[in-house]
Amino acid sequence: MNFKKIFTGPLFWILLAVLILLVAVPALFSSAGAGQRVDTNVGMELIEDGQVTEARIDDGDSRVDLTLAESFELDGTEYEDAVHFHFSQARAETVAESIAAADLDGYTDEPEQSNWLLSMLGFMIPFLIIAAIFIWLILRMSGGGSRVMQFGKSKAKMFDKDMPEVNFQDVAGAEEAVEELHEIKEFLSEPEKFQRLGAKIPKGVLLYGPPGTGKTLLAKAVAGEAGGSFYSISGSDFVEMFVGVGASRVRDLFKQAKENSPAIIFVDEIDAVGRQRGAGVGGGNDEREQTLNQLLVEMDGFDANANIIVIAATNRPDVLDPALLRPGRFDRQIPVEAPDFNGRQQILQVHSKGKPMVPDLDLKQVARKTPGFTGADLANVLNEAALLTARSNADLIDDRAIDEAIDRVMAGPQKRTRLMKHHERRVTAYHEGGHALVAAALNYSAPVTKITILPRGRALGYTMVIPEDDKYSTTRNELLDQIAYAMGGRVAEEIVFRDPSTGAANDIQKATDTARRMVTEYGMSARVGSVKLGSGDSSPFLGREMTTGKDYSEDLAAIVDAEVRSIIDEAHDEAYWALTENRQILDTLAEELLRVETLNAMEVAEIFTGVTKRPVRKVWESSPDRPLVVEGENA
């Protein structure tokens, strides 16, 4: 049993306070120095026998205090020279008459004046103890008793030269961002170099991009390179349950930075406090917006912050307040995107340090297999490969461990204990074979690099289609191929079994989403035209989604639905053609998958030798009234 945890927990102190109330409060109202208690009859006999020299009646407590001439013994008990007894209201008159008849020198029938101080303390002590417990619990929630009255103090961590350093050499795959931040470091270390040309130091730098791309790592590298004061804080650390605490913490943070300038302030996840004003529950008066207002003033108010630069990171630049993004606050907005092929290769080299690998392991091929992976994903791939190697009691990381690690990062761990019936395995084999064969038969699809029917994550199997080079835009023909490839699994089930399964639900969703974007966002429908439909706010937050409505008519919505349906139907027909024309190859592929369960790129390419290609689609016209421009001729 953890006694330390019990004695430091709130329950112990609450029980102790209740015990003090039960013991201390009654003691305040009890009389002190009244002697031993005797029965009423004994007290009356003492008065009548003349053994009492002084008497005092307390009507409020129905008690009589007696001072005796000498001590006495009764029933083996020795009584000193002072005793007291209590009486009932029925005998009050008799007691008073007996005392008056005894003609005692110290007797008085005037009521005793109550002690107002004791009465007030007895009334207030319970409330004081309850208030003390409440304040103590609040202090525990906000950082402990050592932080009394420090709610408004900044929680930023200050990094000094003794902290473990991360420099720009540890950051790979983000050369442009490193170059911009390197200039920020020069602003702080050599300000005269820029001031002599009339250049002003930027007030802020916003790093934005998907999760895992290295925004926080870049900030750590700036901390390691700057050599001066570096304050790090999360956006959520500003906002508390108490009104005004966030604004007070912002003021305290900038005050500390001014005292230790030149300084860099890094705010991670700034969207927690920097969301657009007027869109929250409290309108313009809630705590978060007060904190944002103070941050805006500190960054570019009447009080200029010389030699203080704010670096912020967020995954949601679309929800930030426009006042934060204007020049004079966040002067520079640096995108930190997923790395390209060369960037992935550099990141893999950084994270492979300290990990023993087989000599023929080619990180270049690993980078080629992982398009779209972020730096965090690539670090996770190598870490998973190391864990798998250790689990198999091997000494060196090899290609098999890397491939399994990539699959685990993309689709989750393999479910080895899931036993599938033979018919379900055949359906899965033809389903995945349909995806792969349609991709191979189309003209604008990426090559198939892997097919497996082993359950992994929520999928019963998957087909990996990876482009050979990084792509930054997608043509209409490539999107149509993607939709047809997505429908290939469903079409294969229809052709072979005439009884499709639910396994194509995710494929249908992806195909429908792509087709709808082609119509409503990309302007790839002749009937709808090059018109952007819908608000396009894919990340609404409270206050916006309440007012966002469909900004086009019901008639146009019906046309959009018809166009989406038409694109899906055409993709279905293309997949049907590709599979029926290559039915023998589909059967061969499915049987091979049932035998070995997983096929790599070379094995797939060997099976797909002789695949009949789908004829090239006719050139798409946005409108039949616009003549086509033949390549090489002037428009």
Q: List CB contacts of 541: < 8 A, sequence separation 6 or more.
A: 275, 279, 319
Q: State which H helix or E strand residue 425 sits in.
A: helix 422-441
Q: Is 212 one of the annotated binding-site residues?
A: yes
Out of 432, 494, 563, 574, pick the active-site residue: 432
Do you find a cis peptide bond into 371, omega within 30 degrees of 0? no
CA distances to 237, 373, 439 from 470, in Å = 39, 11, 18
Q: Is 213 one of the annotated binding-site residues?
A: yes
Q: What span, in angstroms and rounded, lies between the C-alpha atoms of 476 and 519? A: 11
Q: Is 216 one of the annotated binding-site residues?
A: yes
Q: Is 215 one of the annotated binding-site residues?
A: yes
Secondary structure, 3-state, 237-300: HCCCCCCCHHHHHHHHHHHHHHHCCCEEEEEECHHHCCECCCCCCCCCCCHHHHHHHHHHHHHC
Nearest to 462 by CA among 488, 499, 481: 488
- How far from the centroid of its chain's Cα atoms is residue 336's Cα? 20
Tokens for 623, please give them.
Answer: 């409108």
Q: What span, in angstroms and rounded, lies between the C-alpha atoms of 407 and 511? A: 23
Q: Is 86 one of the annotated binding-site residues?
A: no
Q: Is 413 one of the annotated binding-site residues?
A: no
CB 263 within 8 A of CB 229: yes
Q: Is 211 one of the annotated binding-site residues?
A: yes
Tokens for 258, please give them.
Answer: 């001014």
Tokens for 134, please give them.
Answer: 């409440």
Q: What span, in angstroms and rounded, lies between the C-alpha atoms of 197 and 551? A: 50
CB 347 within 8 A of CB 363: no
Q: Is 435 one of the annotated binding-site residues?
A: yes
Based on the residue annotation, tell me whether 570 is a catalytic residue of this protein.
no
**Encoded amino acid at 286, one letter:** D
CB environment 134-151: b (16+ within 10 A), e (fewer)? eeeeebeeeeeeeeeeeb
Q: What span, in angstroms and rounded, lies between the C-alpha atoms of 204 and 224? A: 18
Q: What span, in angstroms and rounded, lies between the C-alpha atoms of 275 and 454? A: 44
Q: Please give the order of strands across the beta sheet that includes 462-465.
A: 462-465, 448-452, 598-600
Known binding residues for ATP are: 209-216
Annotated binding-site ranges for Zn(2+): 431, 435, 507
Instruction: Give the catalytic positions in this structure.
Output: 432
Residues making up the binding site = 209-216, 431, 435, 507
